[in-house]
Chains A and B, each alone.
Chain A
Amino acid sequence: MTTQVSAGQSAATGPVTGSGGWREAVTDFAQNKMGVAGLATIVLMLLFSFAGPLIYHTDQVHPNMLLITQRPGANHPLGTDNVGYDVLGRLMVAGQSSLEVGLAAAVIAGFAGTFWGAIAGFAGGWLDSVMMRFVDALLAIPSLLLVLLLAAIVTPSVFMIIIVLGLISWLTTARLVRGEVLVLRSLDYVKAAHGFGATPRQIVLRHVIRNVIGTVVVQVTFEVANAILLFAALSFLGLGPPPPAANWGGMLTDGLNYVFSGYWWLIYPAGIFIVVTVVAFNLAGDALRDVFEVRLRSRNS
Chain B
Amino acid sequence: MTRYLVRRTSQAIAVLFIVTVVVFAILHFLPGSPARALLGIRATPAAIRQFNAANGYNRPLPVQYLLYLDRLVHGNLGFSYHYDQSVGSLLAMDLPKSALLVGASYVFALLIAIPMGIVQALRRNRALDHVLTGFSFVGYAMPTFWLGILLLVAFSASVHLFPPEGPQGATVGAALGDPAGLVLPVATLTIVTVAQFSRFMRSSAIDVLLQDYIRTARAKGAAGWHLITRHVLRNSLLPIITLVGLSLPGVLSGAIVVEALFNYPGMGWLFWTAAGSHDFPVLMGFTIVVAAATVIGNLLADVGYAVADPRVRYQAS
Contacts and interface: CB of A to CB of B under 8 A. Distances in A.
B210 interface: no
A36 interface: no
B143 interface: yes
A252 interface: yes
Interface string A136-174: 111111111110111111000000000000000000000
B249 A140 contact: yes
Interface in B112-156: 137-138, 140-146, 149-150, 152-153, 156
Contact of B250 (A133, A142, A236, A253): A142
B253 A236 contact: no
A275 interface: yes
Most buried by A among B11, B146, B295: B146
Interface in A231-266: 232-233, 236-239, 249, 252-253, 255-256, 259-260, 262
B275 interface: yes
Contacts of A152: 275-276, 278, 280, 283
Contacts of B275: 148-149, 151-152, 237, 239
A188 B249 CA distance: 40
A153 B153 CA distance: 34
B137 A282 contact: yes
Contacts of A87: none
Contact of A137 (B26, B157, B250, B291): B291
Contacts of A139: 249
A150 B145 CA distance: 21
Interface residues on A, range: 35 or more
B140 to A, nearest CB: 7
A296 to B, nearest CB: 19
A137 B18 contact: yes
Please report whether the interface of chain B is mostly helix, strand, loop or mixed according to DSSP: helix
A267 interface: yes
A144 B256 contact: yes
Contact of A260 (B30, B157, B250): B157
A35 B201 CA distance: 23
| Interface pairs A-B: 5 shortest CB-CB | A144-B253, A278-B141, A137-B18, A142-B249, A271-B146
21 contacts: A129-B14, A133-B15, A134-B18, A136-B18, A137-B19, A140-B291, A141-B290, A145-B271, A146-B287, A149-B275, A150-B26, A152-B278, A152-B283, A153-B31, A237-B272, A238-B276, A249-B143, A259-B156, A260-B164, A274-B146, A275-B142
Interface of A: 129, 133-134, 136-146, 148-153, 225, 229, 232-233, 236-239, 249, 252-253, 255-256, 259-260, 262, 267, 271, 274-275, 278-279, 282-283
